[in-house]
RNA sequence: GCCGCCGUAGCUCAGUGGUAGAGCGCACCCUUGGUAAGGGUGAGGCCGGGAGUUCAAUUCUCCCCGGCGGCACCA
């Protein structure tokens, strides 16, 4: 199967165990594997040559460090299996649906996708058919052959067979880059590789999962392609485990739990705005109390500002020009009720529901004269903002149109930026730690293409933020070009139960807005200076953060956040009075307690409250009444423990304290 | 906003060109049961909205609205 090569200089290949094998001339990975042993030859998927993944059929021409990769080398194996799976899917699609063009098909976490151009998009119903054809192609065990093509010939070839997207991709590759094409049977695709030696090596641990629309090159002004997602593993057991994982993740979807636990609902008459139910609002308020205390501790003063503001503020802030389509605009006028008299009263001005709090905070800053000695001034607000989001973007609590930010603005001097950024990172880290998210990702979002300010000012701003990040010791990455038009930002990302990441916390450095809205302070030399603003939020919004927390804890909230902390319930009605007395003591101790006197079996009541995710159930019967004890059943355990009732309450009260890692830090 | 799918009882879902069904939940009755469903009876639906085809539409077609999965956008 590998090429026969004429003997030239000897080639020495060093294996991972340090041993060296010498060949007369260039040698392929296949030959090397065969030389080592038939078992390895059978298991071999690709070869790593000096750390680079190569096809087994590609001749190794000089002395190298090599390693034969098999399915036991998970990471490398999954990479190549998934990529081959995408290719085999593309072949299946083109066999079944002639005229469909291929575009790109990369690996993603847990699988792969391939984008196709086809007049009639695929539907879920097509997936089993495509999958069946894929299995057939695997069975054909087609040899996969790597070919290096001339760039122009490649472009011509793909154009001639109607693959305009592929031709476009090649045209965009830098000159001089080798154009490699992989052929399996009579199907071929442009690809960097490497690939499996034959389709049969793929195995059967794959599944097509969903179809979706996706824009060509991720640009919404381009045409929409049809994307098929799949997952692929080294064996069936892993595939099954993955599918099970997805199923489990879906069970903790906050929209599902929100319904089951009676936390909130959404309805179309207030699309994208949350109706918080009593249970959900307990969580909301507890979280708000928590962040309010923490923010105060870090030197912020809380304010409350108007919802409706004159459009002139938004013009000055730049939002009118850049954010207008996302704003709810409200004319200040009252149309007449009478049909034939369209008289309008009011100022006729345009108002807008605030999509951000910054201009309002600047108004507070502007009251009175500020000295450089007053800075930094840290303003916080549980700011209710409205944004008219694209309808397709709305998603439970994660993406809404009315949201409450734990917003804040730091007005400071330029020389205070780094210090204030460090302080914010400390605040945010303490909050995330206390809320159960010690691991989060920080990205430094740098200058976008369209931006205000000079390159020098951006150099400085980005440097200040990066200096701060270095100082904090947080690990960070970059999001090139993702900064706001006015300045760079830090993005803090959390991952949800099904692997999607959400940006929550943010810090945005803004040297301009305060000036644009006429804010200034008196500097040491008596001159008027505009303060720098740091727009920042720790949780981001209460809506999204609670959505993430519900999923993170699968509804089993820590005691301090649980809507109902304990249910007291008797086994028979004979213990009703005792149950009531325990319940009243729990209430008096400050616990969110409920009393369940329903005439139902204890089994039923335990099941019911467990479903509702109540963290603790105090079951009481004759024995408990006699000894002044309770039988405690904690959520997630099928064990009970009998404890003196005052102690049981005391323990829960202690456990229900808000977390505070800053207290003894 | 774009592509695809979906919309039947409070919830989860069957189903049919002749105006509907299950389980859970709910109400009432029986049951007093030691830790994830004790039993019975009953109420509850303009089958998302509008138009069209048809003798007849919840069912077929079109439009709208909403939900879901992605894309784009974003906290």
DSSP annotation string for A40-95: HHHH--EEEETTEEE-TTSPB-S-EEEEEE-TTSHHHHHHHHHHHHHHHHHHHHHH
Identify nearest nucleotide to residue A504 by CA to C1′ distance.
Answer: B75
Question: What's residue A1's pLDDT?
Answer: 41
- Output DSSP code: residue A269: G
> pLDDT tens digits for A74-101?
888 999 999 999 999 999 999 999 999 9
- Which residue is nearest nucleotide B65, judged by alpha carbon to C1' distance? A268
A613 CA vs B35 C1’ separation (Å) = 15
Residues lying close to strand B (Cβ under 7 A), chosen from 382-411 of chain A, are: 387, 389-396, 398-401, 403, 405
Residues lying close to strand B (Cβ under 7 A), chosen from 638-657 of chain A, are: 638, 640, 642
pLDDT over 80 (residue A219)? yes
Whether CB of A541 is under 7 Å from strand B: the answer is: yes
A322: confidence class by pLDDT, cuts 50, 70, 90:
confident
Quickly tell me which residue has 């694209």 as its tokens.
A390
> pLDDT tens digits for A158-188?
999 999 999 999 999 888 888 999 999 999 9
Looking at A542-615, which runs of residues are DSSP E strands? 566-570, 593-595
**Is A10 within 8 Å of A23 (Cβ atoms)?**
yes
Residue A548 burial by Cβ neighbours in a 10 Å radius (0-12, 13-18, 19+) = buried
- Which residue is nearest nucleotide B35, judged by alpha carbon to C1' distance? A603
**Is A532 within 8 Å of A511 (Cβ atoms)?**
yes
In the three-class reduction of DSSP (H, G, I as helix; E, B as strand; rest coil), residue A640 is classed as strand
- Output DSSP code: residue A263: -
Whether CB of A610 is under 7 Å from strand B: the answer is: yes
Q: For residue A587, how many C-alpha atoms fall within 13 Å in the half-sphere facing its CB?
A: 11
**Is A502 within 8 Å of A493 (Cβ atoms)?**
yes
Question: What's residue A3's pLDDT?
Answer: 45
Compute the distance between CA of residue A175 and CA of residue A155 in angstroms, rounded to an integer: 13
Length of chain A: 665
**Is A532 within 8 Å of A477 (Cβ atoms)?**
no
A270 CA vs B50 C1’ separation (Å) = 22
Residue burial A376-386, b: 16+ Cβ < 10 Å; e: rest: bbbbbbbbbbb
Question: What's residue A664's pLDDT?
Answer: 62
List the structure tokens of A34. Answer: 């065969």
Question: What's residue A71's pLDDT?
Answer: 85
| Averaged pLDDT, A282-304 | 97
> pLDDT tens digits for A471-506?
999 999 999 998 988 899 999 998 766 666 788 999
Question: What's residue A2's pLDDT?
Answer: 43
- Which residue is nearest nucleotide B34, judged by alpha carbon to C1' distance? A571
A122 CA vs B50 C1’ separation (Å) = 29
Identify nearest nucleotide to residue A385 by CA to C1′ distance.
Answer: B75
Residue A4 burial by Cβ neighbours in a 10 Å radius (0-12, 13-18, 19+) = exposed
- Output DSSP code: residue A267: -
Identify nearest nucleotide to residue A622 by CA to C1′ distance.
Answer: B34
Identify nearest nucleotide to residue A621 by CA to C1′ distance.
Answer: B34
| Averaged pLDDT, A118-136 | 92
Q: What is the ipTM of this complex?
A: 0.94
Whether CB of A236 is under 7 Å from strand B: the answer is: no
Whether CB of A373 is under 7 Å from strand B: the answer is: no
> pLDDT tens digits for A370-415?
999 999 999 999 999 999 999 999 999 999 999 999 999 999 999 9
Whether CB of A449 is under 7 Å from strand B: the answer is: no
Q: Which residues of A are catalytic?
A: 358, 387, 405, 407, 409, 489, 535
Compute the distance between CA of residue A36 and CA of residue A238 in angstroms, rounded to an integer: 28
Compute the distance between CA of residue A442 and CA of residue A469 in angstroms, rounded to an integer: 9
Compute the distance between CA of residue A479 and CA of residue A466 in angstroms, rounded to an integer: 13
List the structure tokens of A79. Answer: 């990479």
A280: confidence class by pLDDT, cuts 50, 70, 90:
very high
Compute the distance between CA of residue A415 and CA of residue A179 in angstroms, rounded to an integer: 51
**Is A258 within 8 Å of A265 (Cβ atoms)?**
yes
Identify nearest nucleotide to residue A108 by CA to C1′ distance.
Answer: B70
pTM of the model as a whole: 0.92
A654 CA vs B48 C1’ separation (Å) = 49
Residues lying close to strand B (Cβ under 7 A), chosen from 475-514 of chain A, are: 491, 498, 500, 502-506
**CB neighbour list of residue A353: distance below 8 Å, 6 or more residues apart:** A307, A308, A327, A328, A330, A385, A386
Question: What's residue A496's pLDDT?
Answer: 66
Q: What percent of chain A has pLDDT over 90?
A: 80
Nearest CA-CA partner of A584 in A576, A614, A277: A576
Compute the distance between CA of residue A207 and CA of residue A132 in angstroms, rounded to an integer: 10
In angstroms, how far is CA A601 from the centroid of its own chain?
43
In the three-class reduction of DSSP (H, G, I as helix; E, B as strand; rest coil), residue A30 is classed as helix
A123 CA vs B62 C1’ separation (Å) = 21
Average pLDDT value over all residues in chain A = 92
Residues lying close to strand B (Cβ under 7 A), chosen from 129-168 of chain A, are: none
A544 CA vs B36 C1’ separation (Å) = 31
Question: What's residue A110's pLDDT?
Answer: 92
A262 CA vs B25 C1’ separation (Å) = 13
**Is A135 within 8 Å of A204 (Cβ atoms)?**
yes
């Amino acid at each position: 199967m590998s090429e026969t090569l004429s003997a030239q200089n000897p080639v020495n290949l060093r294996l991972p165990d340090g041993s060296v094998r010498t060949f007369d001339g260039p040698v392929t990975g296949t030959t090397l594997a065969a030389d080592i042993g038939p078992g390895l030859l059978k298991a071999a998927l690709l070869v790593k040559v000096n750390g680079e993944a190569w096809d087994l059929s590609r001749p190794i021409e000089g002395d190298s460090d090599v390693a034969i990769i098999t399915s036991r080398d998970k990471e490398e194996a999954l990479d190549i299996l998934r990529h081959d799976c995408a290719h085999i899917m593309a072949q299946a699609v083109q066999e079944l649906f002639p005229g469909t063009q291929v575009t790109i098909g990369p690996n993603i976490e847990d699988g792969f996708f391939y984008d196709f151009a086809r007049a009639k998009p695929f539907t879920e119903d097509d997936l089993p058919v495509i999958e069946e054809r894929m299995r057939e192609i695997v069975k054909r065990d087609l040899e996969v052959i790597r070919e290096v093509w001339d760039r122009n010939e490649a472009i011509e070839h793909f154009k001639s067979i109607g693959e305009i997207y592929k031709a476009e991709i090649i045209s965009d590759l830098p000159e001089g880059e080798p154009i490699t094409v992989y052929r399996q049977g009579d199907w071929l695709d442009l690809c960097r590789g490497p690939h499996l030696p034959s389709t049969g090596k793929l195995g059967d641990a794959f599944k097509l999962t969903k179809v979706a629309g996706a824009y060509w090159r991720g640009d919404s002004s381009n045409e929409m392609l049809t994307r098929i997602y799949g997952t692929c593993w080294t064996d069936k057991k892993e595939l099954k485990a993955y599918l099970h994982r997805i199923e489990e993740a879906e069970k903790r979807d906050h929209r599902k739990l929100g319904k089951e636990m009676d936390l909130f609902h959404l309805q179309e008459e207030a699309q994208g705005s949350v109706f918080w139910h009593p249970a959900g609002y307990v969580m909301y308020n507890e979280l708000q109390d928590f962040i309010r205390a923490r923010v105060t501790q870090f030197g912020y003063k809380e304010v409350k500002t108007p919802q409706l503001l004159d459009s002139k503020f938004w013009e000055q802030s730049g939002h009118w020009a850049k954010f207008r389509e996302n704003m709810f605009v409200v004319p200040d006028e009252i149309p007449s009720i009478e049909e034939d008299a369209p008289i309008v009263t009011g100022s006729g001005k345009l108002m807008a529901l605030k999509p951000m709090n910054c201009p309002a905070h600047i108004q507070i800053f502007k009251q009175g004269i500020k000295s450089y000695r007053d800075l930094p001034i840290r303003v916080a607000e549980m700011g209710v903002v409205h944004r008219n989001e694209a309808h397709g973007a709305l998603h439970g609590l994660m993406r809404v149109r009315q949201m409450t930010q734990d917003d804040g603005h730091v007005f400071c001097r330029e020389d205070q930026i780094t210090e204030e950024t460090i302080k914010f990172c400390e605040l945010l880290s303490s909050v995330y730690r206390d809320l159960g998210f010690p691991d989060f990702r920080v990205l430094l979002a740098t200058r976008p293409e369209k931006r205000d300010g000079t390159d020098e000012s951006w150099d400085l701003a980005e440097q200040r933020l990066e200096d701060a990040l270095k100082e904090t010791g947080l690990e960070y990455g970059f999001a090139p070009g993702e900064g706001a038009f006015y300045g760079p930002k830090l993005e803090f990302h959390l991952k949800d139960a099904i692997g999607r990441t959400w940006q929550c916390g943010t810090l945005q450095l803004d040297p301009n807005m305060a000036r644009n809205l006429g804010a200034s302070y008196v500097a040491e030399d008596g001159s008027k200076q505009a303060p720098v603003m740091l727009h920042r939020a720790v949780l981001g919004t209460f809506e999204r953060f609670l959505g993430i927390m519900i999923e993170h804890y699968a509804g089993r909230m820590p005691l301090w956040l649980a809507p109902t902390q304990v249910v007291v319930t008797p086994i028979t009605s004979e213990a009703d009075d005792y149950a009531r007395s325990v319940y009243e003591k729990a209430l008096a101790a400050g616990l969110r307690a409920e009393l369940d006197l329903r005439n139902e079996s204890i089994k039923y009541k335990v099941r019911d409250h467990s479903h509702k995710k109540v963290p603790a159930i105090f079951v009481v019967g004759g024995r408990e009444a006699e000894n002044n004890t309770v039988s405690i059943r904690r959520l997630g355990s099928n064990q009970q423990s009998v404890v003196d009732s005052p102690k049981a309450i005391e323990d829960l009260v202690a456990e229900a304290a808000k977390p505070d890692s800053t207290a003894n830090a």
